[in-house]
Structure 1
């Protein structure tokens, strides 16, 4: 009996020692099970903007176990007045992602949206999909400033608001030392965008302008240009089928009541006070100069950012707009509506860039609203037309035609090489981009599509808007950041900030 007791005690001590050693050397993901990530390794994130596109892009962030969404922000409380590309599309996406087939948005029972929906989606996802993390609560705020004051353990934010709030919220977050993801554009005012970029350049925070992830590869095109296949590059043409939302040619005159739960003052943010109207908000905001950036801000980032980087296009010296107009009747006399408040139904804008280094002067031409370049003679001879969206690089001896994202380049007039059109899996690309952001935050190495890299495209989309708004050919001084031939157009380079929303 004495021997048995001694051996039992020895076995216990040996087992305990082995267990202790195992605990110190086993990786945390083994101890916590599959996909376990220690709380100290998680990135706590606040999601700012719970409209339809905001919620759509919230779902893959929830699916990435490294992120933990701790708060949502939106001045609209309930799912009232939202619009989407199809009525049940987003609702079904949400139900699938959070594993709750009977989840309902409430509100006007039409389209999901608002901070209460955001809060519900986050909490339901973690309860149903990741119950092991024992998630407590998602905080919901109407005001991003309150969020930044109260959430002390916040690592990062993603900004999915209307365009006019991107710059002010990005700056506020960076000043609090938070890493920032934001959708396009960085700002819908040139000088504001420049200041945000300059602050990011001097900051240690990781920044990510989301459309970078959808840019194509300019390498094959630059190889063709550098080989002299089209002679000397002279022009880049880019055209889109946008706008695919209403472009209102007049300012609303009726004054419907502000929906219950919407803080209209917070929605306006830095912009001047005016009566609420649903035609300013949600899906249609980008058609207004005050709230949006127009078609080029919407789609130019996806198509042209990589072009701007490859060709080093910065500091255009001239911007030449051509735009549609609207005619009304003041019985019995017709008149043209003077419009400096909303983008035109269709436009073309030419930005002229001076030579830089070995690159000669280049014109970049943007087309929207169904406008396209003239059909090249090489296509006419083959009884072909230009696609609805695309890009074309024109040189002294030839032309390169690509898809909108600079994929599948073809040298016009030459036998087309056999190639399989690129079919990008957007879900996989989005997941890879989120992981890249995670890696950047953890390593401290800046994201490749960061604010500092976006100066050329930010400058272009804002000067496009200023030229259209003034309806004048503009001469621009890049060093002085001023328009020299139409002094009154300089007011459109910046905004007058309302108190409490200064940059």
Structure 2
């Protein structure tokens, strides 16, 4: 069985199209990897019942009206469904610009915009001229306290936690781009703050409530593949420079950019706009021009991803997308160990290519699972059942005792072909949902929690961060999730919570 689904923001990676000619394809809607997810973890716990909320509910009951959630009624400063949801965007150039457009389509009113770079944010400023503008997110939250309902965070990874936490403490609904945080400790802080705020949260990750994702889970959980003991996941990232030392020197900071605000809690370093002539990063950029035209800065924009102080490398950039469906389908939680091998790991940047291996324990009657991540052009062994069909540039391969499933942007393929009939007989039982932006919008209005609410997003993000710590230490690490500690190599715990610099603190936002 081969199910085809379109991917609006990524071209098909099939090299010759032969697989599409040889097999009948069933078109399926698939959203780009900036869309929502819905997990097997329980929804966030309700916030404590305040006296005001209790009295409001009691009044409704006495009037003979069914009890509804307090945020549906607009209690405690939250928006009722009858009122539009006013949204502030922080980090509105690049991916932020595109995702804010999706927010608007979902129903949000774009009320305010914030970016440290006026030039990079110009597209957003031009599209929403009525939106109030800010450079510092703290100024935005002070000035807009009574004017906005929700905050979208589209900044580099190292500032996610600060901005999202500041919004949560002001009881604003929050959506943050993946990965949710740069460190494991930051994620735990955000999860606790979300519980206390009682607001709607969301992280942008490829959905596991789309038709292909749900079908994957239904097939696996119905036993079409037998017991699944291995999963292999690969990505064509990085498409930005990695595996290099910091270039010497500095360049003038553009007048449109507040470099200190961009650095935020990261260690001080001079601004660098241009790579030295002949630097191998230029070769990497040239090879990726189709993806990142114009994004040639050393750190900003876009290329922060490869620097440990600012980003989380290829694994952090794409892991949450790819692991999302795997976690739902296999009912995974925290791994017991993680190990990595890679090209040379330098102190400041992620490697050019890596393989990261996670071992998950048995759970709910299911066997232990090994999940292996590949990036930088590396891929798992090719399934013999593919014949002469090309391997996709990005994909997931589930290995079961009785069959295999290959998932990619080009579709779902049960292997061997004889598995198709068994797959056809599996009923569709899982709920399909509309994706990141509509889910979050409905949650802001009192609907069910968005798919990638922070109770789901935090452990998902932790998985990619654990892999990065294994890369940086070069050790096989044994992980105890509850106390956030590695039990066999104490030095690795220094990466679980890293210091903030330049006067920034999570306690002070």
2:222 equivalent to 1:206: no
Greater percentage in helix: 1
Compute the displacement of 1:274 (Å).
Answer: 1.3
Q: Distance in 1 between matches of 2:440 and 2:457?
A: 16
Task: Please give the TM-score of this superposition, normalised by the length of structure 2.
Answer: 0.72
Q: Distance in 2 between matches of 1:394 and 1:418?
A: 16
Relative to structure 2, which stretch is displaced further, 246-255 or 218-227?
Answer: 218-227
| 1:141-160 correspondence to structure 2 within 5 Å | 141-152=134-145, 153-160=147-154
2:157 equivalent to 1:163: yes
The residue aligned with 1:400 is 405
Q: Distance in 1 between matches of 2:108 and 2:364?
A: 43
5+ residue gaps, structure 2, are: 1-79, 274-297, 425-431
Compute the displacement of 1:376 (Å).
Answer: 2.6
Relative to structure 2, which stretch is displaced further, 236-245 or 484-493?
Answer: 484-493
Give the structure with higher Rg (CA): 1
Q: What SS is found at the alignment partner of 2:248?
A: coil
Compute the displacement of 1:232 (Å).
Answer: 2.3
Compute the displacement of 1:264 (Å).
Answer: 1.1
On the 8 A contact 2:151/2:175 being kept in 1, the answer is yes
What per-residue deviation string (whole Å, max 9, x for no partner) do you get for residues 134-185 of structure 1? xxx4221111111111112211111111111112211110000101111111
The residue aligned with 2:413 is 409
Q: Distance in 2 between matches of 1:215 and 1:297?
A: 21
The residue aligned with 1:281 is 300
Compute the displacement of 1:348 (Å).
Answer: 0.8
2:498 equivalent to 1:467: no
CA RMSD of aligned residues (A): 2.7
The residue aligned with 1:295 is 314
Equivalent residue for 1:450, pick from 444, 448, 453? 453
5+ residue gaps, structure 1, are: 1-37, 80-112, 124-136, 326-337, 421-428
Q: Distance in 1 between matches of 2:307 and 2:161?
A: 17
Relative distance call for 1:223 and 1:150 in structure 2 (3 A) is closer
The residue aligned with 2:117 is 76
Equivalent residue for 2:171, pick from 148, 173, 177? 177
Q: Distance in 1 between matches of 2:301 and 2:422?
A: 43
Q: Distance in 2 between matches of 1:226 and 1:211?
A: 22
Alignment length (residue pairs): 394
| 1:246-285 correspondence to structure 2 within 5 Å | 246-278=241-273, 279-285=298-304
Relative to structure 2, which stretch is displaced further, 224-233 or 462-471?
Answer: 224-233
Compute the displacement of 1:480 (Å).
Answer: 2.2
What per-residue deviation string (whole Å, max 9, x for no partner) do you get for residues 66-108 of structure 1? 422221111112x2xxxxxxxxxxxxxxxxxxxxxxxxxxxxx
On the 8 A contact 2:152/2:174 being kept in 1, the answer is yes
Q: Distance in 2 between matches of 1:60 and 1:495?
A: 33
Q: What SS is found at the alignment partner of 1:280?
A: coil
What per-residue deviation string (whole Å, max 9, x for no partner) do you get for residues 289-345 of structure 1? 1111222222222222122133222221211101012xxxxxxxxxxxx61211111
Q: What SS is found at the alignment partner of 2:100?
A: helix
On the 8 A contact 1:166/1:182 being kept in 2, the answer is yes
Highest relative contact order (Cα 8 Å, sep 6+), 1 or 2? 2
| 1:24-43 correspondence to structure 2 within 5 Å | 41-43=83-85
On the 8 A contact 2:355/2:373 being kept in 1, the answer is yes
Compute the displacement of 1:286 (Å).
Answer: 0.7
Equivalent residue for 1:374, pick from 378, 381, 406? 381
On the 8 A contact 1:303/1:404 being kept in 2, the answer is no
On the 8 A contact 1:47/1:71 being kept in 2, the answer is yes
The residue aligned with 2:131 is 138
On the 8 A contact 1:391/1:404 being kept in 2, the answer is no
Relative distance call for 1:307 and 1:404 in structure 2 (3 A) is farther
Q: Distance in 2 between matches of 1:476 and 1:155?
A: 38
The residue aligned with 2:8 is none
Task: Please give the TM-score of this superposition, normalised by the length of structure 1.
Answer: 0.72
The residue aligned with 2:38 is none
Q: What SS is found at the alignment partner of 1:281?
A: coil
Relative distance call for 1:63 and 1:488 in structure 2 (3 A) is same
| 1:475-486 correspondence to structure 2 within 5 Å | 475-486=478-489
Relative distance call for 1:372 and 1:383 in structure 2 (3 A) is same
